Amino acid sequence: MTLNKADREELIKHRLEKADNLIPVIQFLIDQGHYLIAVNRIYYAMFYSLSALALHHGFDASKHLGLIGWFNKTFVKEAKVEKEIGKMLKTAFEMRSKGDYDDFVHYSKEEVNKLFTNMLIFLDNIKKLMIS
């Protein structure tokens, strides 16, 4: 996708807002005990922010694993973020995939709350990468 600078900046802003707008939704889902849906939304909040970062750096990926691989190579491997940030993304992706595609998957409130906390840390790190 070829965008002019103004359109690219608007799309980046939109993707970050999309991620941020999921925060109260996820908290509601957790509070209501809808853990599988919360895990899905947690991952997608991370994905939306990551896709904003990719767009900010001129990277375009059509697949989730391509985007995750780019992030790991460009930011984790190069020590621009701590390895733990990459692990947070990997865990969210794996939990979301398992919850979406496997049968009889159940997550505890504690697991989902930890993932939610990690998501908030991840989003904060992505925003910092876009400033630096």
pLDDT of residue 60: 85
pLDDT of residue 1: 59
pTM for this entry: 0.95
Task: Spell out the SS3 assignment of the chain.
Answer: CCCCHHHHHHHHHHHHHHHHHHHHHHHHHHHCCCHHHHHHHHHHHHHHHHHHHHHHCCCCCCCHHHHHHHHHHHHHCCCCCCHHHHHHHHHHHHHHHHHHHCCCCCCCHHHHHHHHHHHHHHHHHHHHHHHC
Q: Considering the chain, what is the average pLDDT of its residues?
A: 95
- Boundaries of domain holding 100: 5-131
Return the CATH number at 123. Answer: 1.20.120.330
Query: What is the count of structural domains for the chain?
Result: 1
Mean pLDDT on 91-105:
97
